[in-house]
Amino acid sequence: MQGHIGRQLQQRFNELAPQERRVASFILDHFEDLAVYSAADLARLSGVSKATVTRLFRRLGYADFKAVKAHARELRHYGVPLAAASDALGEGAERFARHLAREQENLHRCLERVSATGFDAVVSALDAAPRLAVAGYRNSYPLALHFRQQLLQARSGVALWPAPNQSLAEEIAELDSAAVVVLFGFRRRPRVFDALVDTLAARGQRCLLIGDATASRYDDRVAWRLECPLDSVSAFDSYAAPMSLICLLANALLHRRLATGRARIDDVTALYESLEELAP
């Protein structure tokens, strides 16, 4: 992927001609909307000629404006935070309405992609596996941690990867073919994630992958994949849909083993009190 056009404009701003700076300033102020503008729109809104717009993009290494728009869409697809236009959030109550509408849309899209039979197959696997491992990197790590803590209240034998300052080789070697690995792989994954998926697949390990649309590239290496959109009204991704899916999975697992799950919750609660770990 070519270098971030926003950073290029910032770094080279002082090198630009005055008319080119007008275009650059407009782009930096409206970066979230760059993919929907035409070159003529940019020229009109910046108060310059279309030739100036074309000259600026060629100076930055783009063949034409189509290449610029493709770059902007690629950045957002891979999770690069793009500062939205100043009015993207709305004002007052409209701000909350826009946010709520986007969150509801994300959750609806997440759940409509999950079939009842597919979901039941995932829950059955999480219930039957003698051992589970839950893994995630970067923004996916808090999701993995939370899911692991939810699972631990209903069943035993749930590991979290990676442990601080520890390697994964020993953890993977501990698993047998009956174990299930839950991978959280949302966009902007580190390179090691690919190696982890490949290694688990080569060993015949059953994996559940929870991620956004960019995780579809791993479909041929995992047993199940659940997709959660992360779209928000502005630059930063929203993880509300994944957290909701985690809640649904954990509750479904608990109800699959309700008697033993309740007994374990009671035991954990008693230990909380004995250790005085939770404030009243």
Residue 198's domain comprises: 113-275
When divided into structural domains, the chain yields a total of: 2
pTM to 2 decimals?
0.73
How far is the C-alpha of 277 from the C-alpha of 241, rounded, in Å? 29
What pLDDT score does 263 carry?
Answer: 94
Is 46 within the bounds of a domain?
Answer: yes
Does 65 share its domain with 147?
Answer: no
Express each pLDDT in 132-150 by its tens digit.
999 999 999 999 999 999 9
Is 94 within the bounds of a domain?
Answer: no
Express each pLDDT in 207-266 by its tens digit.
999 998 888 889 999 999 999 998 888 768 899 999 999 999 999 999 999 999 999 999
Domain CATH code at residue 198 = 3.40.50.10490
Distances (CA, A) of 233 to 10, 18, 39, 263: 24, 32, 24, 43
Q: Decide if 112 contacts 118 (C-beta within 8 A).
A: no
User: Average pLDDT in the 62-70 region?
Assistant: 80
Q: Which residue has the higher pLDDT, 25 or 10?
A: 25
Number of H helices, E strands in the chain: 12, 5
Is 280 within the bounds of a domain?
Answer: no
Domain boundary, last residue among 60, 77, 94: 77
How far is the C-alpha of 175 from the C-alpha of 203, rounded, in Å? 10
Is 167 within the bounds of a domain?
Answer: yes
CA atoms within 13 A on the CB side of 38: 4
Does 63 share its domain with 122?
Answer: no
Q: Who's near 258: CB < 8 A, 6+ residues apart?
A: none
User: Average pLDDT in the 5-18 region?
Assistant: 80
Does 73 share its domain with 126?
Answer: no
Does 249 share its domain with 191?
Answer: yes
What pLDDT score does 26 carry?
Answer: 81
How far is the C-alpha of 118 from the C-alpha of 219, rounded, in Å? 14
Does 30 share its domain with 166?
Answer: no
What pLDDT score does 66 carry?
Answer: 82
What pLDDT score does 130 carry?
Answer: 97
Sign of the torsion angle spanned by Cα atoms 191, 197, 203, 205: positive
Q: Decide if 208 contacts 147 (C-beta within 8 A).
A: no
How far is the C-alpha of 177 from the C-alpha of 233, rounded, in Å? 43
What torsion, rounded to 10 degrees, do the Cα atoms 246, 249, 255, 258 define?
-60
What pLDDT score does 80 carry?
Answer: 53
pLDDT at 87 over 60: no
Does 125 share its domain with 61?
Answer: no
Is 108 within the bounds of a domain?
Answer: no
How far is the C-alpha of 150 from the C-alpha of 8, rounded, in Å? 44
Domain boundary, last residue among 55, 77, 99: 77
Does 32 share its domain with 118?
Answer: no
Domain CATH code at residue 72 = 1.10.10.10
pLDDT at 1 over 50: no
Q: Decide if 136 contacts 143 (C-beta within 8 A).
A: yes
Q: Decide if 240 contacts 107 (C-beta within 8 A).
A: yes
Q: How confident is the model at residue 10 (pLDDT cuts 50, 70, 90)?
A: confident
Domain boundary, last residue among 77, 105, 121: 77
| DSSP assignment letter at 213 | G
| DSSP assignment letter at 206 | E
Express each pLDDT in 89-116 by its tens digit.
667 788 899 899 989 999 999 999 999 9
* Burial (0-12, 13-18, 19+ Cβ within 10 Å), 163: exposed
pLDDT at 12 over 90: no
What pLDDT score does 79 carry?
Answer: 53
Does 235 share its domain with 135?
Answer: yes
What pLDDT score does 139 carry?
Answer: 94
Does 38 share its domain with 134?
Answer: no
| DSSP assignment letter at 3 | P
User: Average pLDDT in the 41-50 region?
Assistant: 90
Is 103 within the bounds of a domain?
Answer: no
Does 129 share its domain with 241?
Answer: yes
Percentage of the chain beyond pLDDT 90 is 58
How far is the C-alpha of 85 from the C-alpha of 33, rounded, in Å? 7
Is 97 within the bounds of a domain?
Answer: no
Express each pLDDT in 165-208 by its tens digit.
889 999 999 999 999 999 999 988 888 999 999 999 999 999 99
Q: How confident is the model at residue 160 (pLDDT cuts 50, 70, 90)?
A: very high
How far is the C-alpha of 30 from the C-alpha of 87, rounded, in Å? 10
Q: How confident is the model at residue 71 (pLDDT cuts 50, 70, 90)?
A: confident
Does 24 share its domain with 156?
Answer: no
Does 150 share its domain with 50?
Answer: no
* Burial (0-12, 13-18, 19+ Cβ within 10 Å), 40: exposed
Is 227 within the bounds of a domain?
Answer: yes
pLDDT at 33 over 80: no
